[in-house]
Amino acid sequence: MTLQLKNISKSFPGVKALDDVSVVFSASEVHALLGENGAGKSTLIKAICGIHKADSGSIELGEKTLNLTSLKDGMRQGITIVNQEIQVFSESSVAENIMIDKLDNYRGFGGINWSKLNADALGYLDLVGLEIDPETPIGGLSAAQKQLIQIAKAISSEATVILLDEPTSSITANEVAKLFEVIRDLKAKGYTLIFVSHKLEEVLEICDRVTVLRDGQHVGTRCISEVDKQAIIEMMIGRKILIENFSRLDADPKDIVLEADGLTSAGLIEDASFKLRRGEVLGLYGLVGSGRTELAKTIIGHFPVSAGVLKVHGKTAKIRSVADCIAKHNIGYVSENRKEDGLFLDFDIETNMTIPIWKRIQNPLTRAINIKKQRETAHDLMAALDVRATGIDQRVGDLSGGNQQKISIAKWLAADCDILIIDEPSVGVDIGAKTMIHKLIWDLANTEKKSIILISSDMPEMISLASRILVFKEKRITGEVPGIAEPDQDYEALSRDIGKLMA
Amino acid sequence: MFLTRLKTGKIISGAESGILGAAFLLILLFALASDSFLTQYNLFNLTRTQSLYVFVALSQAVMLATGNMNLSVGAIAGLTAVIFGVCVDTLELAWPLALLIALGTALFCGAFNGFVMTVLGVNSFIVSLSTLFIFTGFVYGISEGYSYRNIPADFVRIGRGNFLGLPYLFYLMVGTLAAVWYMFRYTVFGRQVLATGSNLEAAKLSGINTDRIIMGANLLSAFFAGVGGLLWVSRLGSAQPAIGQNWLIISFAVAIIGGTALAGGRITAIGLFGGGLIMVLIKNGLILVQANVYFEQAFLGSIILLTILLDRAREIWSHKARKS
C-alpha cells in the first residue's frame, strides 16, 4: 500500500528535527531513506512507525489517514520496523518467535496447539526463503537468519509497510545477497519497503528510489537510475550553505602534538596514520561507521590498540583507559551522544562542568574538593559560553540541546585540555548555539593554541572550521583534503573531492 | 537532587525532610498510643537498634550508590563475627588484635566481590548471590553452628554502655554518618561514586576509573558490614553464627526508605539516619500493637514496596512539573 507523508514537522526543545517533509513511499518499491547524523532520519522513522507524533502534517496509508499513538498501534495498522539490533527471544523456538504476538490464536485444548503453530510458521519461513525446522531454538541461528525471521514476523502480522533499519549492519556479504533476494521477492508481492542504510553500494543495488534528508529537510527524491554514489553523497552533504568565514589557522607544521602511525583497533579502525599540530583543527570526515569515531575512541583509550603507535608530544604513549588518557596526557573527548555517555543528566550544571578537575582542586590534607573554586569555575564557564539556564544548580537534563552541548564542551575547557576531540558538536543543536560552538572551537585553536580534532557529518561545518580534513571509508583513512583556505575558494570542488574519497 | 542541593546551601532536601517528618510522625503516634514508649529504657533500646540498622544499611547503600548491590553483606557480617569469636575465645588473642583480624577478613571478602565484578566483569547481583552462599558456608563450617560465648567484657561494653542516657553505639553511628556525609559531599572519591552510579559510560568517558570506584565501594560495603557484625557481637555478648542472617531485607529496606536510589547516583546520610529510625519504630510499633510477629517480614516487604512506589510517584510528578 502507498504510504504518503504530507508536510511532516516535528520539533524538540531548541531544534527543528523535521521541517515540512513530504514523501511518497509506493507499493512494490524499495525506497531508500538516507541522511547523516542529525539529518532527521531517525525522527522520521519514529514518526512513521508510531513512536513519535508529528507536530503537524499527516500520514496516509492507502486511503486512510493514520493517527498513530504507539509502535503497537503502528503495527496494528500494518507498519512494522525491523531493527538493526536483532531482537529475538533466544531461548524460544523459531515458530514462537514469529508467532509471539499471535499465540492467543493458537489456544487449543489444554494449551497451545503446537502442530498448527509450527505449520503456519513454516509457511512464513518459506516466504523469506528459510529452510529450517520451526521448532529449532532461535539462539543458535546466524544473525542473518534472525534478521529474516524478524521479517517473517512482520509479514505474519500482516504488515504492508516494512521499515528495514540498517538490516545489513551485522551480517556477511553472502547473507546480504540472500536478504536482498527476499527483499526483491517481497517487492514483487506488493509490499512497501523502506530501506535505511549507510552503505550506499547496497542502496544502489536494491533500491528503486532514494530520498535524502538534511537538517530536517527533504533534499530530494530520485529514481536510482538517475543517480550514482557521488550524486547521493552530494545530496547528503549539501550545497553551499552557511559556510562561515573563519580565516586560515596558521599552525606550525613542525609543532606536532599528537601523532598516530598505523594505529589499529581490530575490527574498528585499520592502519590510521596522521599528525596533529598545535593550534589547528583537524577534521575527520566520513559516513557513520567509517572509522572516524572509532579512531577517536581508540586514541583516548576507550578501545584497545591492537597495532600501531601513538605519540603524544613526541613521546610514545600507551593509553590503557580514558582515566589514564586524561590524567597523563590531558586529552579530552566530547562524545557524540551527549545524553547517553557525555553528561550526567540528573546532576546539576556545576557538577557536570567540573568532574574532570575535582582531583586538581581538592585539599591534599582534608581530601575535600574546594567548593568555592568549583562554583567559580562553573560560573565563569557558564558566562563565557553563554549557557542559558536558571543557575549553575539547574539539572542538566532539563536544558536544551544547545546548552547541553556547551556543557559537555565546557567540562574539558575546565580541565584545560591541550588536545580536544569533539565528536558531532552540532547534532540536535539550534542554529544560534551552533554558530556559537563553531566560534568557540575556532577561538580555542586560534587564540588558545589548542589542538582540536573535529568529527562531523556536517560538511559546511567541517569545511568552515577544519584546517585539514581526513576522509574515512570502511575503517580506513582514504585521503586528506585541505579545509577552506580563502573565503572565495570553490566549495563545490572541495566537497566533490571529499565525496570521491568516500565513494 | 543530592549534588544540586549541596551547593544551594539548604541543609536538608525535600526528600530528607520527608523521611525525618515520617519518623517524627511515627514517634508521635507511638508516644500517644503507649505510655511505655517514651521511657528511658525504651529510648535507649530504640537508638541502639537504630544504630545497628544504620551500619547494616550503609553496607548496602554505598553499593547501591554505584548502581550495584551486595547481597552478601549479612554473610560478611556473620563471617566477621565468627572470626572474631575464634580469635578471642578459641585462640585467646587480645580483642583489639582480634578486631583487626576480623575486619581484615571482611575487607578480604569485599575485595573478592570487587575483583570478580571489575576484573572478571560479572554482574554484582550474580557475584554477591554466589558469595552470599560461599561466605555463609564458611560461617557454619568454622563455627559448626556454635556460638563463641567468651567475649571480653571491655568489648561488650561498647554495645551495652551508655553516655548521657544514649548508647555508645548511637554516638558511633552519628560520627560514622558525619564521615559519610563529608565523603559524599566533599571528597573526590565520594563524588566519583555518585557519578559512576548516575551514568557509568559518561563516568568512564569523563576519566573516572570506574573499576577502582566499584572496588572501593565493595571494600567500604564490606567494612561497614564487618563493623556492623562486630557491634552485634558486642551487643549480644556472644559471637553467634546467626548474625547477619536477617540483613538482606534490613539492608535494602533501611537504605531505600533512607532515600538511596536503587538505580544509583544518590545517597544521603541524613536520610539513612531517618531510614534507620523509621525501621526500628515500625518494628517496635508492631510489637506495641501486638501484631503477629510471624508476619513481620510481610510488613517489612510491604514497606519497601510502598517506599519505592512513593519514590516513583515523586519522580513522575517532578518530571511532569519540569515539562509544564
Q: What is the pLDDT of residues A219-264, one digit of tens each?
A: 999 999 998 887 888 888 765 455 666 767 777 888 899 999 999 9
Nearest chain A residue (CA) to B210: A323
Long-range Cβ pairs for the range A61-66 (8 Å, 24+): A61/A1, A61/A2, A61/A3, A61/A4, A61/A160, A61/A161, A62/A1, A62/A2
Nearest chain A residue (CA) to B207: A323
Residues from chain A contacting residue B206 (CB–CB below 8 Å): 322, 326, 355-356, 411
Mean of pLDDT values over B288-292: 77
Is residue A79 over pLDDT 80? yes
Position A488 scores a pLDDT of 60
Angle at CA B155, nearest 5°, toward B151 and B157?
115
- Flag if B186 and A368 touch (Cβ within 8 Å): yes
Work out the angle between the directed axes of helices B40-65 and B247-257 (0-180°, nearest 10).
80
Is residue A33 over pLDDT 90? yes
A410, three cell numbers: 565546557
Mean of pLDDT values over B205-219: 95
Position B9 scores a pLDDT of 46
Mean of pLDDT values over B6-10: 46
Position A243 scores a pLDDT of 61
Position A75 scores a pLDDT of 86
Position B7 scores a pLDDT of 43
- Flag if A359 and B188 touch (Cβ within 8 Å): yes
Nearest chain A residue (CA) to B195: A344
Whole-model pTM: value is: 0.80
**How many residues can be counted in chain B?**
324
Higher pLDDT among residues B22 and B220, named by residue: B220
Closest CB to A398: pick one of B198, B207, B322.
B322
State phi, psi for A85 to the nearest 5 degrees: -80, 130
Is residue A487 over pLDDT 60? no
Residue with cell 565513494: A503
Position B4 scores a pLDDT of 43
Position B6 scores a pLDDT of 46
Pairing assessment for the beta strands A281-285 and A451-455 based on DSSP bridges: parallel
β-sheet bridge partners, residue A107: A112
Nearest chain B residue (CA) to A339: B202
Among A243-247, B283-287, B301-305, which is the least confidently predicted range? A243-247
User: How far is it, in rounded angstroms, from Cα A177 to Cα A172?
Assistant: 9
Residues from chain A contacting residue B189 (CB–CB below 8 Å): 367
Q: Which amino acid is at A297?
A: K
Residues from chain A contacting residue B208 (CB–CB below 8 Å): 323, 355
| pLDDT band of A207, cuts 50, 70, 90 | very high
- Flag if A335 and B187 touch (Cβ within 8 Å): no
Beta strands in A349-486 (DSSP E): 419-423, 451-455, 468-473, 476-482
Among A251-255, A265-269, A334-338, A346-350, which is the least confidently predicted range? A251-255
Position B278 scores a pLDDT of 92
Position A70 scores a pLDDT of 87
Mean of pLDDT values over A372-395: 91
Position B11 scores a pLDDT of 60
The whole-angstrom distance between B148's CA and the closest CA on chain A is: 40
Is residue A277 over pLDDT 90? yes
Mean of pLDDT values over A180-207: 90
Residues from chain B contacting residue A340 (CB–CB below 8 Å): 201-202
Count A/B contacts: CB-CB distance under 8 Å: 96
| CB of B277 closer than 8 Å to CB of B50 | yes
Position A84 scores a pLDDT of 64
A447-485: per-residue pLDDT in tens? 889 999 999 887 878 888 888 999 998 899 999 988 775
Which residues of B make CB contacts under 8 Å with A?
1, 3-4, 6-8, 182, 186-189, 191-192, 194-195, 198-199, 201-209, 265, 322
Residue with cell 507498519: A79
Provide the b/e sequence for A371-403 (b: ≥16 CB within 10 Å): eeebeebbeebbeebebebeebbbbbebbbbbb
A224, three cell numbers: 536510482
A155-165: per-residue pLDDT in tens? 888 889 999 98
- Residue in B85, B46, B93 with CA at minimum distance from that of residue B230: B85
Q: In chain B, pLDDT over 70 holds for what percent of residues?
A: 94
Among A120-124, A244-248, A302-306, B29-33, which is the least confidently predicted range? A244-248
Beta strands in chain B (DSSP E): 162-163, 166-167
- Flag if B191 and A325 touch (Cβ within 8 Å): no
Mean of pLDDT values over A87-98: 84
The whole-angstrom distance between A323's CA and the closest CA on chain B is: 4
Higher pLDDT among residues A181 and A428, named by residue: A181
Residues from chain A contacting residue B196 (CB–CB below 8 Å): none
β-sheet bridge partners, residue B166: B163
Nearest chain B residue (CA) to A353: B206
Is residue A300 over pLDDT 70? yes
Q: In chain B, pLDDT over 90 holds for what percent of residues?
A: 67
Position B3 scores a pLDDT of 46
| pLDDT band of A131, cuts 50, 70, 90 | confident
Mean of pLDDT values over B130-158: 94
Mean of pLDDT values over B158-173: 91
Tell me the pLDDT of chain A averaged across its residues.
Answer: 87
Mean of pLDDT values over B49-62: 96
| CB of A450 closer than 8 Å to CB of A417 | yes
Position B236 scores a pLDDT of 94
Q: In chain A, pLDDT over 70 holds for what percent of residues?
A: 95
Query: Which ipTM score applies to this complex?
Result: 0.84
- Residue in B204, B185, B250, B187 with CA at minimum distance from that of residue B2: B185
- Flag if B186 and A323 touch (Cβ within 8 Å): no
User: How far is it, in rounded angstroms, from Cα A76 to Cα A62?
Assistant: 15
User: How far is it, in rounded angstroms, from Cα A177 to Cα A181?
Assistant: 6
| pLDDT band of A71, cuts 50, 70, 90 | confident
Closest CB to B3: pick one of A342, A348, A366.
A348
B114-127: per-residue pLDDT in tens? 999 999 999 999 99
The DSSP call for residue A32 is E
Using CA atoms, how far residue A162 sits from A58, A130, A183, A294, B69, in Å, is 19, 18, 10, 31, 42
Position B104 scores a pLDDT of 98
State phi, psi for A4 to the nearest 5 degrees: -120, 120
- Flag if A302 and B1 touch (Cβ within 8 Å): no
Mean of pLDDT values over A70-96: 83
- Residue in A220, A183, A238 with CA at minimum distance from that of residue A205: A183
Using CA atoms, how far residue A417 sits from A165, A239, A327, A330, A344, in Å, is 38, 34, 10, 5, 20
